[in-house]
Structure 1
Amino acid sequence: MENLFKNIKIQVNNKIYLKDPETSALGKKIIENSIILINEIGFEEFTFKKLGDLIGSNESSIYRYFESKHKLLVYLSSWYWSWIEYRLVFATNNIADPNEKLKKAITIVTEKIIDDAATAHINESILNKIIIAEFTKAFHTKEIGKENKEDFFYIYKNVINRIVVMINNVNPDYPFAKSLVSNIVEGALHQHFLQDHLKTITNCNETITPTDFYLNLVENTIRK
């Protein structure tokens, strides 16, 4: 997997940024350290001024890449889901059995994330923590209609729709595949959050993972 990712550029909608951060050392530094800082202080407290202080750069230099911290969060979210999609495609491409393919896909979108050494400036494990805590803030905004028309969330929706196809291949008569998968993908983030912060209202713990829960849920829900 690591060797594959070394030769792949994660695709993000170019309408999200003013200048592609992947094209310069400063841009990569902005992405790397924004992940660290948002995880440390939270998105509400995060500012470009604080990020500039952290990386030793003027606040104005960050605005040359992103017009707002909201766009930066959308960028990080898009990068994350694009990375998940690549993992999903590679991991399931050679699995012939529809049930096994679906199980693998659910595992990928619900499991605990480990950092991928192939992307040196992005720690996926820390980014995953941001997605768990902050992702809904990327699209629960007044601008969602406009941003959706500009395909800001295309990759996220694509991840969901790939798994929808897998469910239809297992049971074409199941009528709620899209609702089920969107609940799995976002619900897994919520279960990880509860496991870390509100342990008394989830069964997920040191021995039961969100993946265990959703594999069980899907097996019992779409069974013919």
Structure 2
Amino acid sequence: MQNIISGLKVNVSPMIYVKDPETSDLGKKIIEHSIDLIDEIGFDNFTFKKLGERIGSNESSIYRYFENKHKLLLYLSSWYWGWIEFKLILSTNNMQNPVEKLTKAIEIVTEEINIDNNHPHINEIKLHQIVVCEFSKSYLTKEVDHENKNGYFLIYKRVINSIIGMAEEVNPNYPFMKSLVSLVVEGSLHQHFLKNHFKTITNCSENVTPTDFFTDLMLKQLQTS
């Protein structure tokens, strides 16, 4: 499995970037240090000028890869969801029991992230934190319908639809499956945020994970409906 993961190439929509950053050392450097910098100072304070200073390159060189920082955020979040999708496929493909398969899928989209050491220029832990804190900024825009039409969120929606299919194997008659699965995937990000910043309004903690909560929520909902 590790050998397969090491060969992973997440196919982010080419409409998001000007030049594929995976095709050059500079592009990979841009991705690596943008993750570090956004994790450090937040997306609102992040600029290509600051990134250029970090990597010792002209700001103009970054624009040869991305039109603006919004497109960079779309790229990072798309890469993250593509990585999650790949883990979903590898971990559940040979599972026969529908409940066990769904439980594993919930775990993958809600768990704490570990470095997998297969993508040296991408720190998956920091990228997960960026998705937790910043992902909503990629779609809470006036351009969301246009960008959605152009496929910018295709991988994210594909992850959700894959889990919808698994959940329907458990209970094909549940009437709100799309809403339930969307709640689990998006709600997991929110619970991770609350666990780190607003501890008094979540049960998630060092001892109770978002995975615990959402597994309990989904399985009880499907098995009692």
- TM-score in terms of structure 2 length: 0.98
Deviation digits for residues 120-143 of structure 1 (CA, Å, limit 9, x no counterpart): 100101100000000000000011
Partner SS for 1:135: helix
* 1:24 alignment partner in structure 2: 24
Return the offset for 1:115.
Answer: 1.1
1:182 aligns with 2:218: no
Cα displacement (A) at 1:159? 0.1
Q: Which amino acid aligns with 1:142?
A: K
The CA deviation at 1:11 is: 1.0
Matched to 1:222, the amino acid is L
- Residue in 1 that maps onto 2:9: 9
- The equivalent of 1:90 in structure 2 is 90
- Residue aligning to 1:218: 218
Which amino acid in the other structure matches residue 135 of structure 1?
F
CA distance in 1, matches of 2:205, 2:131: 20
Instruction: Tell me the equivalent position of 1:207.
Output: 207
- Which SS does the other structure have where 1:17 is aligned? coil
Partner of 2:150: 150
> Residue type matched to 2:57 in 1?
S
1:137 counterpart residue number = 137
Partner of 1:52: 52
Asked whether the 8 Å contact 1:2–1:117 carries over to 2, the reply is no
Name stretches of at least 5 consecutive residues in structure 2 with no aligned partner: none
> 1: distance between equivalents of 2:49 and 2:202?
38
- Secondary structure of 2:86's counterpart equals helix
Alignment size in residue pairs: 224
Q: Secondary structure at the match of 2:151?
A: coil
Counterpart of 1:64 in structure 2 is: 64
2:69 partner amino acid = K
Give how far 1:219 is off: 1.3
Percent of pairs with identical residues: 61
Query: How far 1:10 moved relative to its partner?
Result: 1.1
Q: Which residue identity lines up with residue 184 of structure 2 in the other structure? A: I
| Aligned equivalent of 2:171 | 171
Q: Provide, for residues 143-194 of structure 1, a one-character-per-residue CA deviation record: whole Å limited to 9, x for no partner.
A: 1011000000000000000000011110000011110011100100000000
Q: Aligned partners of 2:5 and 2:218: how far apart in 1?
A: 30
Which residue identity is paired with 1:10?
Answer: V
Give the counterpart letter for 1:11 in structure 2.
N
Q: Is 2:129 the partner of 1:115? A: no
Q: Secondary structure at the match of 2:223?
A: coil
Letter in 1 for 2:87: R
Matched residues in 2 for 1:7 and 1:189: separation?
Answer: 27
| Structure 2 match to 1:102 | 102
Contact 1:194 1:201 (8 Å CA) reproduced: yes
Aligned position for 1:197: 197
- Per-residue Cα deviation, 1:60-113 (whole angstroms, up to 9, x for no partner): 000000000000000000000000000000000010000000000000000000
TM-score, reference length from structure 1: 0.99
Work out the CA distance in 2 between the residues paired with 1:69 and 1:8. 25
Structure 1 gap ranges (5+): none
Q: Report the Cα distance in structure 1 between the residues aligned to 2:116 and 2:51, rounded to whole angstroms.
A: 24
Q: Report what 1:34 is aligned to.
A: 34
Q: Which residue identity lines up with residue 58 of structure 2 in the other structure?
A: N
